[in-house]
Amino acid sequence: MSQSPFLSDSYVEETRFGFWFLRSHTWQHHVLRVAIDDLHRLFDTPLPAAPVLLDVGCGQGKSFQHLQRVFAPSRLMGTDADPHSLKLSAEEATRLGLNVELRGSDCAQLQFADASVDVVFCHQTFHHLVEQEQALAEFYRVLKPGGYLLFAESTEAYIDTWVIRWLFRHPMHVQKSAEGYLQMLRDQGFAFGPRNVSYPYLWWSRAKDFGLLERLGLRKPPPVGQREETLVNVVARKPLEQP
């Protein structure tokens, strides 16, 4: 992959295996689709009508079909720091017959105007970012008052396992627990309640055993509050009135 003018010390590039995995059926069907459907479920207000939707860290564009299906945006935009990923995103949009506006951009320095976006979709991107506070401030900046951040992330409990360390590449010193990510969102000024948060405990997110005993029916998964969360999904809103 060629070096992007937007790549900096604020972003950790994916491994070759990781880049391949982001094109796989497992990623599209068991990760992306499931996350977007779950985020849809977490809304406690009507979905914004024909929103301007920005996919930050859009990668190879595999989210586009699901975002179009669920949110029917009037404008669908994507940004990524890697030029090869953007090229593949453009090809994916063409294949799907979608008009997607793509820009190269570091999440900590988004190339979009203030208050220009209704929905920011950030899926499995944040744990690649070193400058997480700056990126979150950028998400907040580009959102219109009342706009939504759809935030879906793996936690430190998942990222800091031998199989993930072996196959993928992440900045380990910034990984956070589910509560750590929720507090970061609160500190930035985003609003959400328990109804807007979920803790999926999916088999692929349990890298120690991939939930094998539960899948064989030999054990029930521990309930929320009695386990170390591996994933957190949040629908967070930028307040209508700014302080």
pTM of the prediction? 0.85
Tell me whether residue 149 is in a domain.
yes
Tell me whether residue 20 is in a domain.
yes
Tell whether the model's pLDDT for residue 20 goes beyond 60. Answer: no
Containing structural domain, residue 22: 16-44+108-237
Tell me whether residue 242 is in a domain.
no
Q: What domain count does the chain have?
A: 1
Which run of H or E residues covers position 220? none
- Phi, psi dihedrals of residue 36, rounded to the nearest 5°: -65, -40
Residue 71 banded pLDDT, cuts 50, 70, 90: very high
Q: Please give the Cα distance from 226 to 243 (Å, whole number).
A: 37
**Lowest mean pLDDT: which of 49-58, 117-126, 200-209?**
200-209
Q: Please give the Cα distance from 14 to 20 (Å, whole number).
A: 10
Tens digit of each residue's pLDDT (9 = 90 or more) over 190-204: 999 999 999 987 655
Tell me whether residue 86 is in a domain.
no
Tens digit of each residue's pLDDT (9 = 90 or more) over 21-46: 666 777 787 789 999 999 999 999 99
Tell me whether residue 55 is in a domain.
no
Tell me whether residue 21 is in a domain.
yes
Q: Is 234:136 a contact under the CB 8 Å cutoff?
A: no
Tens digit of each residue's pLDDT (9 = 90 or more) over 156-190: 876 656 566 555 555 767 778 999 999 999 999 99
Q: What is the pLDDT of residue 223?
A: 65
Classified as helix, coil or strand, 203 is helix
CATH assignment at residue 144? 3.40.50
If you average pLDDT over residues 107-116, what whole number do you get? 95
Taking the CA atoms of residue 127, residue 76, residue 97 and residue 122 in that order, the dihedral angle to the nearest 10 degrees is 10
- DSSP annotation of 15 reads P
Tell me whether residue 37 is in a domain.
yes
Q: Give the C-alpha distances (Å, rounded to integers) separating 213 from 69, 204, 206, 228, 231.
A: 34, 13, 11, 17, 19
Tell me whether residue 70 is in a domain.
no
